[in-house]
Structure 1
């Protein structure tokens, strides 16, 4: 899992959304920390998805599946906003709530 996470994270090194779970995993799991420190890399399956939110419109997400075992077994899925337009839109999610409050 650590090697797959490392491969997936390569394209998002500056993204806090990837750094936070890495820091947490390293702090709570000696096994993960040891695996991470080996610097192994295996490919993970990545793709882009579009979702439409009623308040802000379409969002493009980068989706990465990190398989924890065989491909039919458990996995961890991460979603990251994939472009500038999508990264700007979640701020608009709070606008309707702030106008009614």
Structure 2
């Protein structure tokens, strides 16, 4: 019974790639967290600013860029996976017919 549950879970994970999605989201979260630490300490790109209020527009722009890039990467990964799945199913269908 336990092996059946493990097999079902492994099948679901391979179908939806939850592990890959989690790693991608975790990496994006770490980048945003790092940006936040730099902003709060006024280090890195934020060194020239005298206050957080002055640095905030740059911080907001940087975070938005990180989010946009993460969304683009996610959409690219999903569309690539869908294309690969379509190609695989088509080739499997052709082999059955031939």
Structure 2 length as normaliser, TM-score? 0.22
Structure 1 length as normaliser, TM-score? 0.22
Pick the structure with greater CA Rg. Answer: 2
Where is the strand percentage greater, Structure 1 or Structure 2? 1
Where is the helix percentage greater, Structure 1 or Structure 2? 2
